[in-house]
Structure 1
Amino acid sequence: MKPFILLFLGINVASAVTHSLKYFYTGSTGIKGLPQFVAVGIVDGMNIDYFDSVSEKNILKQSWMEGARDEKRITDVRKVIQQSFIAGVKIIMPRFNQTTGVHVLQQMYGCELDDDGITRGYFQYGYDGADFLSLDKSSRTWTAANQKAVISKLKWDATGVDANIYKNYLENTCIEWIKTYVNYGKDTLERKVPPSVSLLQKNPSSPVTCHATGFYPSGVMVFWQKDGQEQHEDVENGETLPNDDGTFQKSAHLTVTPEEWKNNKYQCVVQVTGIKKDFNTVLTESEIQTNWGKTNRGVNTIGSAPIIGVVVALLLAVVVVVGVVIWRKKKKSEKGFVPASTSDTDSENSGKGAQKI
């Protein structure tokens, strides 16, 4: 399996509106002080619910989710899933000659719906931070990431039933639920919030960081231009990260000498999905915010608590739930909509699969 790589060929990707529904399940052993099972649902980058084996109760994280589904049913289903995931870790450990220690089984799956009707779906397992098993929707078979996962592949491929169930879920049921959730939360999920853009630098020899924050939705492009042309050399792009208020942030780092940017026109360009306007910030000495004394015109300086503190807290939460298994996507077009059922049956299907890992 190769990682999903997107090449930007001069296309303004930020112009396309995409809604997504993703689930992350984590079963673990040997981690003191942390739940053995955690389940998290995410719509358009926003955490919609949370369940763990300590509270054994599904908790809504967004007020607009109230009434969208039967939460008692979701809680009951996830109680069943937690048992299968905890058991799943113990099923896999002997294959790696493991009897003790910290080990983690994860399931990551979901779907996306573009405003032009194109859909995508993905379903994958990871074990101890590495790929383990994934669904190939086109062939309705399972792909083993290593020799230890071949046993699981053979079990899942034996009848083909599971592949059909998950394929149908990803291409139909999951898309139905995206539309349901977006309808319930449209005031939040379809809002457009422009970014606040700052140019940051630790010291005169450090890279200049273009930091865009506070924007919504999460679809964004942040890039540097030199004399009107997009700059790829000496540029490092950061990940899109969540803020605690439901908005997002992203950075692009430019390594350039003061002499170089003073003799050429460098600017940072930010494009956000659904917002036609580009946000351009020209690199000048007066625009740079630092923590070494030249300028400090706002709270978003390098090392400041409003940015770094929130990011660290969120990343810690994500690490516990998601771990480091690579999330991959496969594209496929699909149209059609059937009214959603009364519960999100993804959870039920997931539990059945994990029991025979």
Structure 2
Amino acid sequence: MGTLVPVLLCWTLLLGSTAPQDNQGRSYSLTFRYTGLSRPTEGSPRFQATAHLNDQPFFHYDSKGRKAEPLGPWSQVEGMEDWKKESQLQEAREEIFMVTLNDIIDYYKDRGEDAGSHTFQGMFGCELQNNTLSGAFWRYGYDGQDFIEFNKELPAWVPLDPAAVNTKQKWEAEAVYPQRAKAYLEEECPSMLRRYLKHGGSLLDRKDPPLVLFTSHVNPEKTILKCLVYAFYPEEITLSWTRGSEAQEWDSLGDVLPSGDGTYQTLAMAEVPTQHTVPYLCHVEHSSLAQPLTVALNKAKKPQG
């Protein structure tokens, strides 16, 4: 059974370290997410990897394209990464990751369990607060259940599934392995995060003001009000509405969802009697705005930040 960690550690060592960036008072995180499928559906990759800076996916790799590529606005950041080298390393990581998945499947197959479609997932990363490490994690899941995780205080891998006992024994057969994993979480990952922030931190610190469209759909008995808010960043936002001067409650307040371009969107709805004639207003509060934005029904408005 191959091990995933040596490839990860080699990757970060190749990147090298950089001088810290002054990000006092801010929290930043770097997270990698992997997914491997034993029997992918037609058109789906068997392996894919995505890296996130805070809530922003900044590069993606999968087994179909075999190419690590920056996403969205990150493609405009110069010097962020050597993407050719990153593609080669992700390809090596894919091979080892899938060997691990197959070994887990073999473990359960030997015990008479179904060798159908299975999923293996990995997630690891670190967080900086005031440019100092404030958190780190490294864990794996199999078919939606916890499989194994690294405890950097021991340091050791902690099995959370019967098959993970074998995984732990094989990984820790290399005497230096737990110490290297600990070094990755406490030193290499923060160093990499500082490097990325040096080149692209402004994308995480930006504030994009929301666009708002407050509309209605009228039928004889009721009017459905919709307040669509989009193109904003960061994602924290508050929506409210009033009828005249009286505050009202939304019947439906949707989740804040990524728009695919590095910004967010959300939708709130309410039903009111069609005969109401008092004006309706949608109010939006966001960190990009000097004061709450108010939009009248059936009017679109672009705010001044």
Query: Do the aligned partners of 1:65 and 1:181 also contact (CA within 8 Å) in 2?
Result: no
> CA 1:209/1:99 → structure 2, altered by over 3 Å: closer, same or farther?
same
Whether the 8 Å contact between 2:209 and 2:289 is mirrored in structure 1 is: no
Q: Deviations over 1:156-212 (max 9, x none)?
A: 566674443333222322222222222212453332211224557778989976643
Residues 209 and 222 (structure 1 numbering): CA distance in 2 closer, same or farther, change over 3 Å?
farther
Q: Distance in 2 between matches of 1:182 and 1:247?
A: 19
Q: Does residue 1:105 correspond to 2:120, yes or no? A: yes
Offset, 1:74: 2.1
CA distance in 2, matches of 1:78, 1:27: 13
Cα 1:224/1:136, change in 2 over 3 Å: farther
Query: Could you tell me which of 29, 34, 37 is aligned with 2:38?
Result: 29
Question: Which stretch of structure 1 is more off in the superposition, 200-209 or 169-178?
Answer: 200-209
Q: Assess, with a 3 A threshold, how the Cα gap between structure 1 residues 35 and 267 changes in structure 2: closer, same or farther.
A: closer
Superposed displacement of residue 118, structure 1: 5.8
Determine which of 241, 246, 258 is the counterpart of 1:241. 258
Match of 2:230 in 1: 213
Show the 5 A alignment for 1:121-200: 121-156=136-171, 161-198=176-213
1:70 aligns with: 82
Shift of 1:116: 6.9
**Partner Cα distance (1:47, 1:194) in 2:** 20
Q: Over residues 303-346 of structure 1, what are the superposed CA-to-partner deviations in whole Å (9 max), with x where a residue is unaligned? A: xxxxxxxxxxxxxxxxxxxxxxxxxxxxxxxxxxxxxxxxxxxx
CA contact (8 A) 2:235 2:256 kept: no
Q: Distance in 2 between matches of 1:160 and 1:258?
A: 72
Change (3 A) 1:66 1:203: same
Tell which structure's C-alpha radius of gyration is larger.
2
Task: Go from structure 1 to structure 2 and tell me whether the alpha carbon gap of 1:95 and 1:70 turns closer, same or farther (over 3 Å shift).
Answer: same
Structure 1 residues 33 and 220: alpha-carbon distance in aligned structure 2, compared to 1, 3 A threshold: same
Structure 2 unaligned segments of length 5 or more: list them.
1-24
Q: CA RMSD in A?
A: 4.2
TM-score, normalized by length of structure 1? 0.58
Q: 1:135 to 1:238 in 2, by over 3 A?
A: farther
Q: State yes or no: 1:277 paired with 2:293.
A: no
Q: What amino acid is aligned across from residue 105 of structure 1 in structure 2?
A: F
Verify the 8 A CA contact 1:124 1:134 in the aligned structure 2: yes
User: Cα 1:102–1:207, aligned 2, differ >3 Å: closer, same or farther?
Assistant: farther
Quote the Cα distance in structure 2 between the aligned partners of 1:256 and 1:140. Answer: 56
Structure 1 alignment gaps of length 5 or more: 1-15, 288-294, 300-357
The structure, 1 or 2, with the larger RCO (C-alpha pairs under 8 Å, 6+ apart) is 1
Give the Cα–Cα distance (whole angstroms) in 2 for the partners of residues 254 and 165 of structure 1: 52
Q: Kindly provide the CA deviation profile for residues 275-316 of structure 1, in whole angstroms up to 9, marking residues without a partner as x.
A: 47353558xxx53xxxxxxx5x459xxxxxxxxxxxxxxxxx
User: Higher strand proportion, which one?
Assistant: 2
Alpha-carbon distance in structure 2 between the residues aligned to 1:247 and 1:235: 22
- 3-state DSSP of counterpart to 1:185: helix
For 1:123 and 1:207, how far apart are their aligned partners in 2? 46
* Distance of 1:266 and 1:95 partners within structure 2: 61
Q: What percentage of aligned pairs have identical amino acids?
A: 26
Q: CA deviation at 1:73?
A: 2.9
Query: How far 1:258 sits from its partner (Å)?
Result: 6.5
Q: Give the Cα–Cα distance (whole angstroms) in 2 for the partners of residues 145 and 194 of structure 1.
A: 44
Question: Measured at CA, do residues 254 and 166 of structure 1 come closer, stay the same or move farther in structure 2, by a change above 3 Å?
Answer: farther
Mapped partners of 1:138, 1:225: distance in 2: 49
* Paired letter, 2:258: L
1:100 Cα shift? 4.0
Note closer, same or farther for the CA distance 1:82–1:67 as it changes in structure 2 (3 Å cut): same
Distance 2:75 2:240 in 1: 38
Distance 1:86 1:206, change over 3 A: farther
Match of 2:7 in 1: none
2:238 match: secondary structure: strand
Residues 155 and 19 (structure 1), Cα distance of their counterparts in 2 relative to 1, 3 Å cut: same
- The Cα shift of 1:268 comes to 5.2
Q: Pick closer, same or farther for the CA change 1:17–1:30 going to 2, 3 Å.
A: same
Q: Deviations over 1:24-60 (max 9, x none)?
A: 2222221132222222222243333232223333333
